[in-house]
Amino acid sequence: MRNHRAPRRGFSLLELLIGLVIFSIIGALFTKLLTVQGRFFDKQGMSNAARNVSRGSLNRLVSDFRMVETSGGVIAASSTSLTLRVPFAIGVVCATHPSGGTAVSMLPVDSVIYNAEGFYGYAWRNAVTGAYTYVENPAAHDKTMGTNTCNGVAITTLPQGRAARITPQIAGSSLGTPVFLYRRIRYEFKASTAVPGMVGLFRTIIFPGGTTQSEELVAPFASTAKFRFFIAADNSTAYDAPPGDLKLIRGIELNLDGTSEVKAAGKTDYENAPFTTAVFFKNRTT
């Protein structure tokens, strides 16, 4: 008996065309999905980069700004630049040093901060008026003095603390007079060197004699990044312009609006991350 099988049919041209159309539609949708997801992740990455810029310099700014003393700590101020006397060591007067100058017992401080370059001067507090007098240009700081001079007058330098000799001698001071050593530091928003065409935040140490040592802390920032000012009469409102009398400044509002270095795919603008915080000075009486 012979087995007769029906001939096997192939795809017709119409069926092939329909299949190609269906696969084309699915492929286009899948490509569109991948494109959208890729742009989304690219945008998220640029946004994260902008936020990292905003937060990158915060610790340094806060640590310097909080220690500023109000009666003479702010030397110059604008919306894009601040020049400050930033304390880096605090202590009390021990005695007049036998070799000249004043012996001071210092509280413990990080050795890297203490030994860094940039000593500019010192300030001492008047026991009667409560005001600080700044001594600089010239002023010297001898870090090699031992603690015996202070221990001999019943002021014991704390463990990890230091004793120092500062010159010129503090006139009219008494045992236990508060003293701090400081550096002149300028913070400013200006054209970035790390990211050309963008704005960077720079920290500049100013040495006696006018020489400077500058470093770019982080970039890029949006054009809206700036400093604003809290004043003694109104500690709850930040003002765009500093007061005529810089002694009235009680704190700084930091508008650290970061931006991305490049534009996300499919976008015409850079990604921005608005970020605002405030720092109030610790060394203030009002």
In a domain, 4, yes or no: no
Tell me what the mean pLDDT of segment 163-186 comes to.
Answer: 88
Higher pLDDT, 178 or 235: 178
Where does a domain end: 144, 165, 183? 183
Tell me what the mean pLDDT of segment 58-66 comes to.
Answer: 87
In a domain, 20, yes or no: no
Cis before 87? omega within 30: no
Other Cβ atoms closer than 10 A to 235: 13
Instruction: Indicate whether 213 and 71 sit together in one domain.
Output: yes
Instruction: Indicate whether 271 and 194 sit together in one domain.
Output: yes
Domain that holds residue 170: 86-183
At 243 the pLDDT is: 94
For residue 173 the two structure tokens come to 């001071």
Instruction: Indicate whether 229 and 260 sit together in one domain.
Output: yes
Instruction: Indicate whether 107 and 192 sit together in one domain.
Output: no
At 5 the pLDDT is: 61
- Provide the pLDDT confidence category of residue 160 given band limits of 50, 70 and 90: confident
Domain count for the chain, please give it.
2
Instruction: Indicate whether 153 and 225 sit together in one domain.
Output: no
For residue 227, give the nearest of 20, 81, 97 by alpha carbon. Answer: 81
Tell me what the mean pLDDT of segment 274-286 comes to.
Answer: 81
In a domain, 286, yes or no: no
- Provide the pLDDT confidence category of residue 187 given band limits of 50, 70 and 90: very high
List CB contacts of 89: < 8 A, sequence separation 6 or more: 106, 107, 109, 113, 114, 162, 164, 180, 181
CA 66 – CA 155 distance, rounded (Å): 27
For residue 230 the two structure tokens come to 């809290």
Q: What is the pTM of this model?
A: 0.80
Q: Are strands 212-221 and 140-142 parallel, antiparallel or unpaired?
A: unpaired
At 42 the pLDDT is: 60
At 156 the pLDDT is: 77
What DSSP state is assigned to residue 263?
A: P
Cα four-point dihedral sign 144, 146, 149, 151: positive
Tell me what the mean pLDDT of segment 266-271 comes to.
Answer: 78
Q: Is the pLDDT of residue 46 over 70?
A: no
